[in-house]
Each structure stands twice: as C-alpha cells, then as structure tokens.
Amino acid sequence: MSWGHDDYMYMVAKENGTTLPQAGLFIIRYHSFYPLHKHGAYAQFMNEEDKKYMKWLHVFNKYDLYSKSKAHVDVEKVKPYYESLIAKYFPEKLKW
C-alpha cells in the first residue's frame, strides 16, 4: 500500500478533529485501495471494526466510480450545500 491523497486527507481530517463518523474516515482512507476492497487482499490484517466499515466502502464505491457525468454543474448553485457539509464536519480553519 502506498501513501497518497487518500491517506493525506484522512490525516488532515483526523488532525483537525473532524466530526465525520469512523466509517467516513475509513472510506476516505481506503477508497482507492483496490486490492483490499475489490479483491479481498490483506483481509487477514483487518479487525472486526474494519470489516464492519467495508460494507460502507462498497456502497461508496458505486458512487465514486460510476456516477461521473458530462453534465455541467452550476457550481454557485451547489456551493452552499457543500459549504454546509464542510462546516458541519470540519472547523473553520484547517491545519494542512
């Protein structure tokens, strides 16, 4: 397993005291780790909590990979929604 954007965002979230549920942090950290969630590799290193979160990772994966669209998104229209999510789960100032 290599270190990349997934683990970086996981660390940023943890360092900043996110209120995301543990399943959300698991998804952030492992959503690109295909040997684990697609092929079952490394399962012998998982604890019961990890196994519990895998179901959420599989649900997320459908939206992560297969929800891409060529339709133009009105950023200004959706921006308040996403800003409210950020405000809900992260402090106003982040340590990067």
Asked whether residue 58 is marked as a ligand-binding residue, the answer is no
Instruction: Say whether 50 counts as a known binding-site residue.
Output: no
Q: Can you tell me which residue has the tokens 């959300």?
A: 24
39 is in an annotated binding site: no
> Which is nearest to 27 in space by CA: 81, 65, 80?
65
Q: Are 76 and 83 in contact (CB under 8 A)?
A: no
| Residues that constitute the known binding site for Fe cation | 5, 31, 64
| Residues that constitute the known binding site | 5, 31, 64
